[in-house]
Structure 1
Amino acid sequence: MLAISFLGVLAAGGNVYFAATQSQRMGSKIRDALFKKVSFLSNHEFEQFGDASLITRTTNDVIQIQNVMVMVLRMMLQSPVMLVGAGFMAYSKQPALTAVFLVSLPVLAVFVGIIMYFAVPLFQSMQKKIDRINLVFREGLTGVRVIRAFNRDKFEQDRFGGANKDYTQTAIKVFTIVSFMFPIMTLIMSGTNMGIIWYGAKLISNQTMQVGNLVAFMTYAAQILMSFMMLSMVFVFIPRASASAKRINEVLEMKNSVLDPDQPLAKDAASQTASLEFDHVDFRYKGAEKLAIDGANFKAHAGQTVAIIGGTGSGKSTLVSLIPRFFDPEKGEVRINGTDVRAMAQEEVHDQVALAQQKSVLFRGTVRENMQFGNPDATDDQIWRAMEIAQATEFIHKDEDGLDAWVEQDGDNFSGGQKQRLTIARTLVKQAPVYVFDDSFSALDFKTDAELRHSLREDKQIQKSVVVIVAQRIATVADADLILVIDGGKIVGQGTHQELKANNETYREIIDSQIKKGDQANG
């Protein structure tokens, strides 16, 4: 008995160890799969979930699955063996007494079913409410300066408090329902024991059963009921994990609207003289009735600068989002170096485009690490050259920390203009046929803007590429080789500054509106 007990201790320890390690490994694989899937989702699919929900699915939902995995490995395997073994031994002691279980086990199953019926919807609702808490909390953190500036602290606290209270009330309700499991189990187990003693006493009085067999039968009965209770607990918490698994599968099974071709164009076949062409391109956002881009048609060659200007919401950023294939056009073709971007693998398209977006995004680390984000093999000389073009050497000095200067998360230790210049420098470090600057000069003063554009024109490496600049100011676009004027998703004019000034009414309206505000344009 001592030896068997020792083996039981070892087996129990092994059960806990393997259940814990396997559940953690499974969670790790799920998180890896989610991160990989999200990394390759197009903008359409990414926006369907949102940041907060994706964070919840990668953290809390995975934890729910891990918890149930531990319960399954520890109880789901042990309980059926115990149930069958104890049932067999109980039947061998006294077959007549097993009739008691024909009453107690169905009653227990009915109660478990009722609890699951009410608990499952609430468990599913809880995960959505966690999404809401994450969303409100994330907005509060990222927008804390705006909240303080507008004195909306109380409003945001109430908003978070409402989401938190909603989740808390749901959690209290569902766990109150689940908590009935234990007293019900205890009641049924006690009733079963009473039935066994009553019926067993009659059998003993009739001398058809020995007292020792009754004691053994009660021990086996306790094991049967305990194993059934463990199974019930697993089945109660499986619904929450099932809801989490469903949410995770929604991400993993999401079909991407931007896919690589079956036979993508080889890299060397796509390496030609730099050019960018939009061939009668139409694009609309998913579910929208109106086209966001309507019939865009232009072409630019190496050494040319294409500037895009238009009112807010006219479709400038949407247009340039088609270049790195964040979206696919509904009609027409976007060609880089003469090749339709849909004929190339997405990785190859991204290699062909260097992009600086409207929002300046920097990562925690050193300046060097941020600069090498798009070109890991970039030398210090190449980085300093890009910094000089971007006018970033003014605040990143060679004689101090230099490229080892520390960058906080999201570049919070730099001003808006400094972050923009660093992101522009990072874009220039990456050598590509097409450079896209999506309104990334907006935080620069006129002098810095002019010096940066002059440096871009004079750089020999940039002269081998096509440069696309999205801007709001006439001064930024005036010296471009080709200016595209966008209004309502349509290119309503294209040409040089002088040509558009003379012939395009929309362009003249932009000039007039800025001159009245003191923004003197070239010419």
Structure 2
Amino acid sequence: MRGRLNIWQVVGSIMFMIVQVIASLYLPNITADIVNNGIAKGQTGYIVTAGMKMIFVSVLTVLASICNVFLASQASQGLGRNLRSDLFRKVLFFSHDEFDAFDTSSLTTRTTNDVMQIQNVIVMMLRMMIMAPILLVGAGFMAYQKNAAMTKIFIVVIPALVIVVGTVMYFAVPLFKAMQKKTDRLNLIFREGLTGVRVIRAFRQDDFEQNRFKGANDNYTNNAIKVYTIVAMMVPFITLIMSGTNIGITWLGSHYIANQSMQVGNLIAFMTYAMQILMSFMILSLIFVLIPRASASAARINEVLDKQSQIDTVAKPAKIKGEASLEFNDVNFRYLGAEKLALSNINFDMKKGQTLAIIGGTGSGKSTLINLIPRFYDSETGTVRINGTDVKALNTEDINHQVSLVPQEAVLFKGTIRSNMLYGRDDATDDDIWHALDIAQATEFVDDLDAKVEQGGDNFSGGQKQRLAIARALVKNASIYVFDDSFSALDFKTDLNLRTALKADPKINQSVVVIVGQRVSTVADADQILVLDNGKMVGLGTHQELKENNKTYQEIIESQIKGGK
């Protein structure tokens, strides 16, 4: 809550709550006076005067309660808003290693359901948790004033309540904690079912997925039924205790009234204070049942917020200066927890206007290598330099301004073509967008920048999505353009036209272009081709040089072009 909860809303809520409690404690006293001094003595005038006072205090109670609820809701909802914003911001700056620590469904649950649990407890705290002990003490003091001897009944009642509530909490709290993990599992299966619906249908796994979801859903449902049944059992027991308390107070009070040691009005007030005491205790018990679940949610939220990024985004960053360049110097990298290096001894140096192509077999480390450029990961040893500056001396925001990346999987966002293009550069003009679309060979199917884009770009083919993703990257003014196997969904003619347009563009010629490709035709015209095999750099040179002297590159050519021609 630190720094995310509005302290003035909290203070205001507590002040109005105190006013509400004081007024609530005063009302039974007025009732006693009306009975003792008005009804018993036939003083109609006193009844009217005391009645007007009661109305005033009641209205004050209602107004204080409304203000308390309003400020408590504002404080809790503001906390939820700030928590969600901070979680989202934190996740945006995660490195890939940090993402690997939390799956997507868990992050979704933490940002929604877990935050909601915190909000619920905060509003309950400001509404009832603070009110209940004050009301408990105040009602106990007022009841003692009315008849000290009768307060002994609470010696029996309160331990009985403690036993009931303690038993419920003992069985319910572990089940409440388990519900969050079961929610994670439910969200995971539901999300996989939605995103993979085409694969599920293609392989006719509808029944399997339905049964998988049904298992998780039933597991969550049974847990919820069990825990809420246990909690619900507390209500009849507490009602029984409260009813028994009323009977005991009435029985004892009747003897005191018969002995003329207690007035009727005081008995009525004592019963009201007794109910306030028991209700306060019940409210506290219900809140203590909710707190463990909120505590589990808070711990899950803090796991994300307290996650220390391996890539420091704030510590004394340098600024990127100079002409576009990209250099890898003796770079080694391994994934977290891996024994074997994913990349070993990578060296190359590219200058402005040059194109580097990276080729190799599946799993050779091509995507791993380019993930080091935008600093999704940091190298274990060696140096990666952008425009002559070590990326470890830069923050990710500065790097992202200089590196434009097209990932393997084309990702489009729901909206329009224009809104997707503006992800590349938010101040891009329509002419800039059309120019990028033209280079990406996308103008043949785009005739309106306001054309609708469905979630994930599902209203476009794979090749169309790929070209739109390439156009979005080209809209950006960057020092380095990285295409991670981005031409694989394109036919040979479109591939050739796109690469030709890239070479002819003046803006691109002021940058370094990195192309990861599977096809020899895609990489053949690059200034330098880097050949990878099992994470090792086994060749670097032009197409002709590698074709003549590099065995791995020759094997790739042989596998794609008959006879190596």
Q: Could you say which TM-score interval applies, normalised by the shorter chain?
A: over 0.9
Correspondence for 1:393? 443
Match 2:480 to one of 427, 434, 437 = 434
2:468 is the counterpart of 1:415: no
Contact kept, 8 Å, 1:279 with 1:332, in 2: the verdict is: yes
Correspondence for 1:459? 505
SS at match of 2:157: helix
Match 1:510 to one of 556, 559, 563 = 556
CA distance in 2, matches of 1:360, 1:33: 27
CA distance in 1, matches of 2:60, 2:369: 69
Contact kept, 8 Å, 1:260 with 1:342, in 2: the verdict is: no
Q: Which moved more, 1:110-119 or 1:459-468?
A: 110-119
Correspondence for 1:227? 280
Superposition map of 1:305-316 within 5 A? 305-316=355-366
Superposition map of 1:136-147 within 5 A? 136-147=189-200
Which string of whole-angstrom CA distances, capped at 9 and with x for unpartnered residues, describes residues 462-517 of structure 1?
Answer: 1111110011111111111111111111112111112222222222222222235x
2:214 is the counterpart of 1:168: no
SS at match of 1:414: coil
Contact kept, 8 Å, 2:424 with 2:474, in 1: the verdict is: no
SS at match of 1:468: strand
1:431 Cα deviation (Å)?
Answer: 1.3
2:95 is the counterpart of 1:42: yes
Superposition map of 1:48-59 within 5 A? 48-59=101-112
Contact kept, 8 Å, 1:261 with 1:343, in 2: the verdict is: no
Correspondence for 2:121? 68
CA distance in 2, matches of 1:97, 1:379: 82
SS at match of 1:298: strand
Q: Which moved more, 1:72-81 or 1:318-327?
A: 72-81
CA distance in 1, matches of 2:479, 2:55: 76
Q: Which moved more, 1:86-95 or 1:318-327?
A: 86-95
CA distance in 1, matches of 2:316, 2:120: 42
In structure 1, what residue type is equivalent to 2:236?
A: P
2:301 is the counterpart of 1:255: no
Contact kept, 8 Å, 1:31 with 1:62, in 2: the verdict is: yes
1:147 Cα deviation (Å)?
Answer: 0.9
CA distance in 1, matches of 2:332, 2:256: 87
CA distance in 1, matches of 2:528, 2:163: 75
Match 1:370 to one of 410, 420, 428 = 420
- Count of residue pairs brought into register by the alignment: 512
Correspondence for 1:185? 238
Q: Which moved more, 1:3-12 or 1:324-333?
A: 3-12
1:142 Cα deviation (Å)?
Answer: 0.9
Correspondence for 1:276? 326
Which string of whole-angstrom CA distances, capped at 9 and with x for unpartnered residues, describes residues 152-209 of structure 1?
Answer: 1111111111111110011111111111221121122233334434544555566654
1:138 Cα deviation (Å)?
Answer: 0.9
CA distance in 2, matches of 1:211, 1:396: 86
Correspondence for 1:32? 85
Correspondence for 2:539? 493
1:380 Cα deviation (Å)?
Answer: 2.1
Match 1:329 to one of 379, 385, 389 = 379
SS at match of 2:358: strand
Contact kept, 8 Å, 1:321 with 1:327, in 2: the verdict is: yes
Contact kept, 8 Å, 1:493 with 1:500, in 2: the verdict is: yes
Correspondence for 1:87? 140
CA distance in 2, matches of 1:221, 1:366: 64
Structure 2 residue ranges without an equivalent (≥5): 1-53
In structure 2, what residue type is equivalent to 1:29?
A: N
1:45 Cα deviation (Å)?
Answer: 0.8
CA distance in 2, matches of 1:154, 1:291: 41
Which string of whole-angstrom CA distances, capped at 9 and with x for unpartnered residues, describes residues 248-291 of structure 1?
Answer: 1111111111113632113xxx2211110111111111111111
Correspondence for 1:264? 317
Which string of whole-angstrom CA distances, capped at 9 and with x for unpartnered residues, describes residues 437-464 of structure 1?
Answer: 0011010001111111111112221111
Q: Which moved more, 1:255-264 or 1:35-44?
A: 255-264
CA distance in 2, matches of 1:263, 1:463: 31
Which string of whole-angstrom CA distances, capped at 9 and with x for unpartnered residues, describes residues 351-408 of structure 1?
Answer: 11010000101112222221121212222222222112111111113xxxx2222222
CA distance in 1, matches of 2:401, 2:148: 75
Correspondence for 1:355? 405
Which string of whole-angstrom CA distances, capped at 9 and with x for unpartnered residues, describes residues 210-242 of structure 1?
Answer: 554333322211111011111111111122222
Match 1:291 to one of 334, 341, 353 = 341
TM-score, normalised to structure 1's length?
0.94
In structure 1, what residue type is equivalent to 2:431?
A: D
SS at match of 1:59: helix
1:145 Cα deviation (Å)?
Answer: 1.0
1:91 Cα deviation (Å)?
Answer: 0.8
Correspondence for 1:471? 517
SS at match of 1:180: helix
CA distance in 1, matches of 2:117, 2:141: 35
Correspondence for 1:239? 292
CA distance in 1, matches of 2:345, 2:165: 62
Contact kept, 8 Å, 1:120 with 1:239, in 2: the verdict is: yes
CA distance in 1, matches of 2:371, 2:223: 41
In structure 1, what residue type is equivalent to 2:472?
A: R
Which string of whole-angstrom CA distances, capped at 9 and with x for unpartnered residues, describes residues 11-31 of structure 1?
Answer: 222222222222222211111
Contact kept, 8 Å, 1:16 with 1:74, in 2: the verdict is: yes
2:396 is the counterpart of 1:346: yes
TM-score, normalised to structure 2's length?
0.87
SS at match of 1:403: coil
In structure 1, what residue type is equivalent to 2:78?
A: R
CA distance in 2, matches of 1:198, 1:296: 90
SS at match of 2:382: strand
In structure 2, what residue type is equivalent to 1:390?
A: A
